[in-house]
């Protein structure tokens, strides 16, 4: 086995798990409401900043601020849906595309205004350092984040399949009219899903803040990659987004290692384009 | 009759005197406006602020009376122009080259500045100076490092500070000096650089000098500064097993790579870097993980050992802004002095006169806060021929000058001691 | 001038006359620069409209064509001494071909998918140019300072020629857009936009018309790119191939009124001055207030008046008349 291969696979998996966590929130919103949330990366940023301020002002380790970030982003998501997004649901598609862009620009620059463009770091999280397992160096914060992503995704999956509300969300996703006819309050489901989607990426932000630097525009690249992942996995499919996230993480890392790091994101986007040409509904979408 | 004619002559003479005197007074401006284009908002607003502070301190010193061995410090304003004071007019480029152009134009045509300084980012300096070249206004740059800026045969553009070509050469010269000093052999180099104009220029220069100095380049990697993860890049570096890594980055990727180097245990004999690692926010972010990394620099506080002027200026900076002078602030500190000195010698604010005076600039080495022989421009390229960099190494979370060896404050630690076994 | 009502001719001529005279009255270079940006983005907004507002292909990757136009003409000029006007046309053709090759397979994608594909496309093109040594890679291209004059497509002493040239480009774009909107093709586009499936059932060759729309849109956008290169004299992937420029184009068309001829021009006339003026007077304090206002406006428009400003105006006109 060529040296470094195992290391790169491990790293690819870990960044993939982070991508997955970011993507499942996006796919949920997309699946239920048919809205591409261009502000998703900025929700990630808000989650990261929330974790940072809780750490800096109250000494709360990011692992413990996860529930707080989740709740905070949930509330923000629901409020944004209620007061802004819901109003364009019946409008032209272009308005739906653009409204979240407007929200994205607003949130990112509000962050600049409030917290300056300087970047921040959480320098001494509780779980830090590296495990040395033979030839492979395993970054502890990244490993913890990966575990968190798996647990959260499983939890969401179970929630959707087993609980009444969850099943209502799935039903709305599959066939909106039928769900309405079955007496499901689709408006409530919408706002719940938007909030849940935001909460999920808020959790991702809390995990990410343990090893990545934090600044107002951090959502940019993560967000763009998340769109590709969601479309690759099939919009609306949680398992699709999860698998696609891991795939993209592996492709990015291995592609960068074996081919050329300068092209690693181009490779990811190329895969997206090829997938939608061949199979427009994505890997697991319908 | 005679009285009438006499009074008319007197009145006429008086009027003539007043007009002439007034005209000459008008030619002695009380305020000389200089335009300053910097990225005051946007992603690198904090760097823009750094630069702004350096320039403002320089103007303070010029306009006031200070007992410092700096040009025009001991007098108030420009003595040859009746004590006229310099006024900096700032404009925000947001780091966008098209704004560099439009702001430079606006400053010249609306604010009536007589010269320009700025703009930190080389891409923006390119367009801003293109505008001033078109408008025939002098531009003195001391904070952009792209070699291409002084390869354009511009008449009105001058650069005071060193460029990435000479910085790259410095790093290789250091390696040669080091091989001799420590009797060690260095053979292979890995190049790592962010993929905008800055990084790729460094990459190009480094490739060229590696060949000249006889080193083998075993990896040549360009990457996106805002990457989400750099494990592929570091993996390629580990596989290449270089003796020395040369890395051109901004601040955020400097941090990301430092963490990843540590995580993946990439420990070549030397890590030599440009720019990002010397930003004021780097060390507070990585703390002791930054130790033993070597960075090219134009300025370091420990230069004060051989040059007390450095400590004196830093004192003033600290008094005014509450923090030590950073490398960026130090670089932007130079241009106002060079311009003021030239305008003073020219005794005029006309472009052609200023350019002529700039070409004749000869500021001695003890009047600058950098380790240079002084400021003197090459007549063709308008690059300061005495500009040079130094190398600093992070020791105990502080920057210490380690090269040139005869100007070093501390002995360089080589090879890189690795990541394990450190705090 | 077939098909213009007399009212349209009068108003149109008046507006054009004002546009022509404006820079002679307001001679500040800053003002002229802002107007040049308005017209340049106006061209790109109108071009976007042909693809997006009319044919329903919401492209967030127009910047790729902008960059291809800029790079093609500049590269040809610097390497082979090709006249920039010729380079302008070649750049447009190259962009149209790239659009056909890459855009065509995507043209069947539904709204959101197409939008994301266009973002991916834009990023791929940017990464490629960033690493392509032949065209300067990340260092970009610095155009040589030619003597100046119409034949060089470069002017040094005054911005006025630039102003009038880009105004002419804008008129061209508006005319093309109008032609499209009033043609059989435009009629079919509206059908396609209403319902993709119905249009297909009716036998309309959806694919062919989409292809034409993409190519025309790309050509016009590339023209704006060449103009930019000749105006700013320096291009690099970081300034002519980035996503924010694509987003700005969409926002301009949307703000002014997607699917209308004049909409993007109005959008440009509102957004560009706001962006420039807030940067000059508010921006330098480093607080991003200008972009805050921007984001807020855009959100507002998409919620309350998705038909854009033109929608507001024409509603009022309908009510009155």
DSSP letters spanning C26-60: ---HHHHHHHHHHHHHHHHHHHHHIIIIIT----S
Per-residue pLDDT at B174 = 94
Which C positions 249-308 lie with beta carbon below 8 A of chain A? 250-251, 254, 258, 286-289, 291-292, 294-304, 306
CB atoms within 10 A of CB C304: 12
Query: Is residue B178 less than 8 Å (CB to CB) from chain C?
Result: no
Judge if the upstream peptide bond of residue B119 is cis by omega within 30 degrees of 0.
Answer: yes
Under an 8 A CB cutoff, do B41 and C145 touch?
Answer: no
Under an 8 A CB cutoff, do B43 and A117 touch?
Answer: yes
Q: What is the pLDDT of residues A30-39, one digit of tens each?
A: 888 888 899 9
Tell which of A119, A204, A261 to mutate to test the B interface (max B CBs under 10 Å). Answer: A261
Per-residue pLDDT at B285 = 84
Using alpha carbons only, give the angle C298, C300, C302 rounded to the nearest 5 degrees. Answer: 70
C129-151: burial string, b at 16+ Cβ within 10 Å, e else: bbbeeebbbbbbbbbebbeeeee
Size of interface A-B (CB pairs under 8 A): 92
Per-residue pLDDT at B249 = 93
Under an 8 A CB cutoff, do C30 and B41 touch?
Answer: no
Q: What is the mean pLDDT of residues A147-172?
A: 92
Q: What is the mean pLDDT of residues A100-124?
A: 87
Size of interface A-C (CB pairs under 8 A): 137
The closest of C87, C244, C240, C269 to B127, measured between CA atoms, is C240
Judge residue C281's burial from the number of C-beta atoms within 10 Å of its C-beta, 0-12 exposed, 13-18 middle, 19 or more buried. Answer: exposed
| DSSP-assigned states of every residue in B147-164 | GGGGGS--SSEEE-S--H
**Using beta carbons and an 8 Å cutoff, which residues of A are at the interface with B?**
3-4, 7-8, 11-12, 15, 112, 116-119, 121, 123, 130, 132, 137, 139, 211-213, 215, 217, 220-222, 225, 252-257, 261-262, 264-265
Q: What is the mean pLDDT of residues C201-206?
A: 66
Between CA B202 and CA C276 the distance in angstroms is: 33
Q: What is the pLDDT of residues A264-284, one digit of tens each?
A: 888 888 888 888 778 777 777
Q: Give the dihedral of Cα atoms C236, C240, C244, C248; nearest 10 deg.
A: 160
Secondary structure of chain A: what % helix, strand, coil (to 5)? Answer: 75, 5, 20
Q: What is the mean pLDDT of residues C45-70?
A: 90
Mind telling me how many Å the CA of C35 is from chain B's nearest CA? 12
The closest of B267, B270, B266 to B414, measured between CA atoms, is B270
Touching B (3+ Cβ pairs <8 A), the chains are A, C
Q: What is the pLDDT of residues B48-102, one digit of tens each?
A: 888 999 999 999 999 999 999 999 999 999 999 999 999 999 998 988 899 999 9
Q: Bin C320: left if φ > 0, else alpha if -120 < ψ < 50, else beta.
A: alpha
First to last CA, chain B: 102
Touching A (3+ Cβ pairs <8 A), the chains are B, C
Mind telling me how many Å the CA of B91 is from chain C's nearest CA? 7
Evaluate if residue C321 carries a pLDDT over 50: no
Extract the tokens encoding B410.
């501390």
pLDDT tier at B20, thresholds 50, 70, 90: very low
Per-residue pLDDT at C316 = 63
Provide, as residue numbers in chain C, all residues whose Cβ is less than 8 Å from the Cβ of B250. none
Percentage with pLDDT > 70 across chain B: 93
Question: How many distinct helices (H) and strands (E) make up chain A?
Answer: 11, 2
Question: How many distinct helices (H) and strands (E) make up chain C?
Answer: 15, 2
CB C189 within 8 A of CB C54: yes
**Using beta carbons and an 8 Å cutoff, which residues of B are at the interface with A?**
41-46, 195, 221-224, 226-233, 235-236, 238-239, 251-252, 255-256, 259, 262-265, 281, 285, 287
Q: What is the pLDDT of residues B348-391, one digit of tens each?
A: 999 999 999 999 999 999 999 998 999 999 999 999 999 989 99
Per-residue pLDDT at B86 = 95
Alpha helices by DSSP H, listed for C50-157, are 63-80, 84-98, 104-106, 111-131
pLDDT tier at B24, thresholds 50, 70, 90: very low
- The DSSP element (H or E) to which B395 belongs, if any, is strand B390-395
- The DSSP element (H or E) to which B272 belongs, if any, is strand B270-275
Percentage with pLDDT > 90 across chain C: 36
Tell which of C109, C299, C311 to mutate to test the A interface (max A CBs under 10 Å). Answer: C299
Mind telling me how many Å the CA of B25 is from chain A's nearest CA? 45
Per-residue pLDDT at C193 = 65
Under an 8 A CB cutoff, do C302 and A102 touch?
Answer: yes
Query: Is residue A277 less than 8 Å (CB to CB) from chain C?
Result: yes
Q: How far is CA C122 from CA A62, A217, A257, A274, C241, in A?
A: 36, 19, 23, 15, 7
Mind telling me how many Å the CA of B407 is from chain A's nearest CA? 34
- The DSSP element (H or E) to which A178 belongs, if any, is helix A176-181
Provide, as residue numbers in chain B, all residues whose Cβ is less than 8 Å from the Cβ of A213. 252, 255-256, 285
Between CA A104 and CA A93 the distance in angstroms is: 17
pTM, entire model: 0.86
Q: What is the mean pLDDT of residues A175-189?
A: 85
With a CB cutoff of 8 Å and minimum separation 6, the contacts of C304 are: A87
Q: What is the pLDDT of residues B285-335, one digit of tens each?
A: 888 899 999 999 989 888 888 889 999 999 999 999 998 998 899 999 999
Under an 8 A CB cutoff, do C291 and A104 touch?
Answer: no
Highest mean pLDDT among B376-385, C17-26, C232-241: B376-385
Between CA A111 and CA A126 the distance in angstroms is: 26
The closest of B200, A274, A279, A266 to C122, measured between CA atoms, is A266
Per-residue pLDDT at C1 = 46
| Nearest neighbour of B195 by CB, restricted to A4, A220, A262 | A262
| Nearest neighbour of C299 by CB, restricted to A99, A116, A280 | A99
Extract the tokens encoding B248.
């051109």
CB A236 within 8 A of CB A67: no
Q: How many CA atoms lie within 13 A of C241 on its CB side?
A: 26
Is pLDDT larger for residue A156 or for residue B20?
A156
| Nearest neighbour of B233 by CB, restricted to A119, A225, A256 | A256
ipTM of the complex: 0.84
* Residue-range domains of chain C with CATH: 6-320 (1.10.3470)
């Amino acid at each position: 086995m060529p040296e470094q291969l195992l290391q790169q696979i491990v790293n690819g998996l870990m960044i993939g798990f982070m991508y997955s966590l970011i993507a499942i929130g996006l796919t949920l919103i997309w699946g239920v409401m048919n809205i591409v949330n261009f502000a998703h990366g900025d929700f990630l940023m808000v989650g990261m900043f929330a974790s940072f301020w809780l750490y800096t002002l109250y000494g709360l380790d990011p692992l413990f601020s996860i529930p707080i970030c989740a709740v905070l982003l949930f509330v923000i998501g629901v409020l944004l849906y209620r007061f802004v997004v819901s109003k364009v649901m019946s409008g032209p598609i272009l308005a739906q595309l653009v409204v979240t862009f407007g929200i994205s620009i607003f949130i990112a620059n509000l962050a600049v205004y409030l917290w300056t463009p300087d970047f921040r770091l959480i320098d001494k999280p509780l779980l830090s350092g590296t495990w040395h397992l033979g030839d492979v160096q395993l970054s502890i914060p990244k490993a913890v984040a990966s575990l968190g992503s798996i647990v959260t995704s499983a939890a969401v999956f179970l929630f959707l399949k087993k609980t009444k509300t969850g099943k209502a969300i799935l039903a709305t996703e599959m066939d909106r009219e039928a769900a309405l006819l079955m007496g499901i309050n689709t408006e409530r489901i919408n706002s719940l899903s938007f909030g849940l989607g935001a909460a999920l990426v808020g959790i991702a932000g809390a995990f990410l803040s343990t090893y990545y630097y934090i600044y107002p525009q951090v959502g940019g690249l993560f967000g763009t990659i998340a769109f590709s992942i969601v479309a690759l996995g099939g919009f609306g499919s949680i398992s699709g987004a999860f698998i696609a996230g891991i795939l993209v993480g592996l492709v990015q890392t291995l592609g960068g290692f074996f081919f050329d790091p300068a092209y690693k994101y181009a490779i990811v986007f190329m895969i997206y384009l090829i997938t939608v040409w061949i199979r427009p509904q994505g890997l697991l979408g319908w | 009759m005679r009285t009438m004619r006499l009074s008319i002559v007197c009145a006429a003479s008086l009027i003539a005197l007043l007009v002439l005197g007034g005209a000459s007074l008008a030619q002695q401006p009380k305020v000389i406006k200089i335009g300053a284009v910097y990225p005051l908002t946007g992603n690198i607003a904090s760097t823009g602020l750094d630069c702004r502070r350096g320039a403002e301190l320089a103007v303070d010193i010029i306009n006031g009376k200070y007992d410092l061995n700096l040009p025009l410090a001991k007098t108030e304003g420009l003595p040859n122009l009746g004590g006229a004071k310099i006024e900096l007019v700032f404009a925000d480029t947001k780091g966008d080259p098209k704004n560099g152009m439009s702001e430079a134009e606006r400053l010249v045509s609306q604010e009536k500045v007589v010269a320009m300084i700025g703009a930190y980012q080389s891409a923006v300096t390119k367009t801003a100076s293109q505008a001033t070249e078109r408008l025939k206004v002098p531009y003195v740059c001391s904070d952009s490092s792209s070699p291409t800026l002084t390869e354009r045969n511009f008449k009105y553009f001058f650069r005071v500070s060193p460029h990435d070509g000479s910085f790259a050469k410095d790093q290789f010269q250091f390696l040669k000096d080091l091989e001799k000093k420590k009797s060690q052999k260095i053979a292979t180099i890995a190049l790592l650089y962010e993929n905008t104009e800055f990084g790729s220029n460094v990459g190009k220069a480094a490739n060229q000098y590696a060949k000249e100095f006889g080193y083998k380049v075993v990896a040549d990697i360009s990457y996106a500064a805002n990457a989400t993860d750099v494990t592929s890049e570091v993996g390629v570096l580990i596989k290449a097993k270089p003796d020395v890594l040369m890395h051109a980055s901004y601040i955020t990727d400097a941090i990301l790579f430092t963490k990843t180097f540590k995580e993946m245990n990439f420990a070549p004999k030397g890590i030599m870097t440009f720019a990002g690692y010397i930003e004021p926010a780097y060390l507070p972010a990585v703390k002791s993980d930054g130790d033993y990394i070597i960075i090219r620099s134009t300025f370091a506080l420990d230069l004060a050992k051989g040059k007390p002027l450095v400590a004196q200026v830093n004192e003033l900076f600290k008094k005014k802004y509450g923090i030590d002078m950073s490398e960026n602030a130090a670089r932007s500190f130079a241009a106002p002095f060079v311009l003021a000195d030239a305008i003073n010698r020219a005794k005029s604010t006309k472009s052609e006169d200023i350019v002529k005076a700039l070409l004749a600039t000869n500021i001695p080495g003890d009047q600058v806060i950098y380790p240079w022989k002084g400021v003197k421009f090459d007549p063709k390229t308008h690059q300061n021929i005495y500009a040079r960099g130094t190398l600093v190494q992070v020791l105990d979370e502080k920057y210490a000058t380690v090269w040139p060896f005869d100007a070093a404050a501390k002995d360089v630690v080589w090879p890189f001691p690795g990541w394990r076994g450190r705090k | 001038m077939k098909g213009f009502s007399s009212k349209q001719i009068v108003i149109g001529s008046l507006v054009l006359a004002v546009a022509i005279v404006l820079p002679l009255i307001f001679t500040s270079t800053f003002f002229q620069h802002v107007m040049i940006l308005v017209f340049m983005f106006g061209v790109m907004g109108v071009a976007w409209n042909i693809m997006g507002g009319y044919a329903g292909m919401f492209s967030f990757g127009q910047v790729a064509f902008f960059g291809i136009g800029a790079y093609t003409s500049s590269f040809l000029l610097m390497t082979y001494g090709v006249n920039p006007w010729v380079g302008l046309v070649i750049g447009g053709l190259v962009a149209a071909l790239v659009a056909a090759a890459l855009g065509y397979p995507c043209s069947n994608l539904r709204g959101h998918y197409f939008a994301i594909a266009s973002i991916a496309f834009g990023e791929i093109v940017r990464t490629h140019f960033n690493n392509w040594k032949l065209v300067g890679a990340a260092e970009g291209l610095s155009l040589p300072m030619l003597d100046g004059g119409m034949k060089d497509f470069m002017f040094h002493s005054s911005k006025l020629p630039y102003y009038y040239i880009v105004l002419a480009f804008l008129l061209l774009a508006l005319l093309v857009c109008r032609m499209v909107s009033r043609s059989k093709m435009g009629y079919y586009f509206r059908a396609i936009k209403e319902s993709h499936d119905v249009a297909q059932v009716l036998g309309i060759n959806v694919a062919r018309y989409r292809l034409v729309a993409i190519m025309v849109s790309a050509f016009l956008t590339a023209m704006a790119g060449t103009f930019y290169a000749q105006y700013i004299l320096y291009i690099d992937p970081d300034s002519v191939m980035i996503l924010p420029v694509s987003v700005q184009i969409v926002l301009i068309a949307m703000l002014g009124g997607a699917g209308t001829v004049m909409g993007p021009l109005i959008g440009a006339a509102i957004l560009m001055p706001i962006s420039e003026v807030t940067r000059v007077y508010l921006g330098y304090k480093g607080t991003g207030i200008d972009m805050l206002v921007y984001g807020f406006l855009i959100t507002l428009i998409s919620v309350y008046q998705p038909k854009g400003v033109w929608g507001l105006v024409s509603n009022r006109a309908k009510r009155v008349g």
